[in-house]
Structure 1
Amino acid sequence: MNESDNKNSTHFGYQSVPANEKAHRVAEVFHSVADRYDLMNDLMSFGVHRLWKRFTVNLAAARSGERVLDLAGGTGDLAERFAQQVGPEGEVVLADINASMLRHGRDRLTDAGVVGNLRYAQVDAEALPFPENSFNLITIAFGLRNVTDKSAALRSMYRVLKPGGRLLVLEFSKPVLPGLGKVYDAYSFTALPIMGRVVTGDSASYRYLAESIRMHPDQQRLRDMMESAGFERIQFYNLTGGIVAVHRGYKF
């Protein structure tokens, strides 16, 4: 699946929209759901998203003293774990393009007492405002599919990684188990919008969620995009039958 129909348009779910409008539309989605984001994640995935994120954190293997950038970090569940792992000599930057999500994450982590080695930044993944070779580790969980130009974002992440650093992308992907795709489609396009309407009063945002997942590159296509951005030794790991995949690549 191409990222856009042409250089001036892109996908917002199943809609084709002007490329310069997508970021605003995505922002509206997350402004709408920010306060119930964690609750909806638990409900939608039956809590399994916590296992997906735990797998990602373990695969990332953050070490004491490292600098970590958690992009599209939202409410900070990954950043919280990384802050513990890198210790006082390290640093974690929780970054998100959406002010509502970033504020929610900052408030949650501050209330949890996660201070000292944690910073916050409102950034656009396509043009990261950090010097080259800044971070040992970059993660982006369930955020890449919302980026307008994914290739530009991957190149930007590559630029700010240190040599030897690694990128981990946790994202919805293409089911690989026979028959799972049909069941997953039925759940996504029926249950998710109803759940969104009941819990958040917003069914449209969760309809967009289902559509955006279908428009996101599959496992092999994302691997190829990472390789084109410069990453090496790329591997991906299918979770829950390929509903979710974790891609890991290195900068050398």
Structure 2
Amino acid sequence: MSEKEQDNTTHFGFRQIPVDEKVRHVADVFHSVAGKYDLMNDLMSGGVHRLWKRITIERSGARPGQCILDIAGGTGDLTRKFARLVGPAGKVILADINDSMLKVGRDKLINGGTAGNVEYVQANAEALPFADNTFDIITIAFGLRNVTDKDAALRSMQRVLKPGGKLMVLEFSKTQNLALTKLYDFYSFNILPQMGKLIANDAESYRYLAESIRMHPDQETLKEMMEAAGLVNCRFENMTGGVVALHTGIKP
């Protein structure tokens, strides 16, 4: 089922808003948090986001000479590691719809010595500006839940994958334990906005981020959406009790 509702509204956190306004609202959130994004990621997850990303890199099977697309790549954590793995014969494209995030990521990577085999593209995941059958691997980490029409985005990703190419979706998901769920909810809706207020002077953006996690499809639903987009061998791996899940699928 498409994210676009019959009454032409969609969710922004727990609110319903017109479909054509969601991109602007999400952009406002990430313009606001871009400068503190890395710091807040470390604080919010206790640094565990680095482990989730490392597992994603390990599961990717990336190798020299490949072409990789990192969608919603933000500040470039995955891009930096992929650039090292594909080497000078390969290429990594860091794509993000938000120009503030893209600029932070570009500056961070260039200042850190990652430059030669990385390109930067401002792009909407729902209509990727790339030719069919271009990429060996596509990743989208903590970005799919912010996309207005997730089904369209998955179809777009499937289109630009090479046959045999792999899509990897790393995203917050649904916890598998009642006690963990209660603790996670308390943290998300009480602690997280206060951290956002203290560190980034923006409680509302972090309240939205917590709400957007709850509105994201569960593990089985996202797997079915990937299959509906034309991917095969779709599966998911829960991390940290289902707080995060890594979904993978292959283009036939």
TM-score for both structures, normalised by structure 1? 0.98
Q: Paired residue for 2:134?
A: 134
Is the CA contact 1:223–1:236 (under 8 Å) kept in the aligned structure 2?
yes
In structure 2, the partner of 1:192 is 192
1:111 aligns to what?
Answer: 111
Contact 2:171 2:244 in 1 (8 A): yes
The one-letter amino acid paired with 2:36 is R
* Alpha-carbon separation, structure 2, partners of 1:2 and 1:52: 28
1:31 aligns with 2:31: yes
2:21 corresponds to: 21
Q: Which amino acid aligns with 2:138?
A: I
CA RMSD in angstroms comes to 1.0
Distance in 2 (CA, whole Å) between partners of 1:76 and 1:235 is 25
Aligned length: 252
- The aligned counterpart of 1:93 is 93
What's the counterpart of residue 146 of structure 2?
146
Unpaired runs of 5+ in structure 2? none
Q: SS of the residue aligned with 2:63?
A: coil
Give the drift of 1:153: 0.1
Cα distance in 1, alignment partners of residues 208 and 67 from structure 2: 33
1:123-168 Cα shifts (integer Å, max 9, x gaps): 0000000000000000000000000000000000000000000000
Q: Gaps (5+ residues) in structure 1?
A: none
1:32 partner amino acid? S
Secondary structure of the 1:73 match is coil
For the 8 Å contact 2:232–2:251, the answer to whether it is kept is yes
Alpha-carbon distance in structure 1 between the residues aligned to 2:5 and 2:19: 10
User: Which whole-Å CA distance do the structure 2 matches of 1:99 and 1:7 have between them?
Assistant: 30
- Could you tell me which residue of structure 2 aligns to residue 61 of structure 1? 61
Q: Is the 8 A contact 1:71 1:96 kept in 2?
A: yes
C-alpha distance in 1 between matches for 2:224 and 2:27:
28
Asked if the contact 1:4/1:11 (under 8 Å) is kept, the reply is no
2:157 aligns with 157
Q: 1:28, 1:6 → 2: CA distance?
A: 25
**Which AA in structure 2 matches 1:51?**
L
CA distance, structure 2, for counterparts of residue 115 and residue 3 of structure 1: 36
Whole-angstrom CA distance in 1 between matches of 2:58 and 2:47: 18
Identity %, equivalent residues:
62
- Does structure 2 conserve the Cα–Cα contact (< 8 Å) formed by 1:5 and 1:16? no
Q: Give the letter for the 2:213 counterpart.
A: I
Secondary structure of the corresponding residue to residue 6 of structure 2:
coil
Question: What CA distance in whole angstroms lies between the structure 2 residues aligned with 1:96 and 1:215?
Answer: 21
| Letter matched to residue 217 of structure 1 | P
| Equivalent position of 1:176 in the other structure | 176
- Inter-partner Cα distance in structure 1 for 2:91 and 2:126: 22
Q: Contact 1:168 / 1:247 at 8 angstroms: preserved in 2?
A: yes
- Counterpart CA distance in 2 for 1:179 and 1:73 is 32
Q: Residue 179 of structure 1 aligns to a residue in which SS?
A: helix
One-letter amino acid matched to 2:154: L
Q: CA deviation at 1:7?
A: 5.4
Structure 1 match to 2:225: 225
- Cα offsets for 1:38-69 (capped at 9, x unmatched): 00000000000000000011111111100000
Inter-partner Cα distance in structure 1 for 2:211 and 2:193: 11
What TM-score does the superposition give when structure 2 sets the normalisation length?
0.98
Over 3 Å off, 4+ runs: none
SS in 1 for 2:178: coil
1:138 aligned counterpart, secondary structure: strand
Shift of 1:4: 4.4
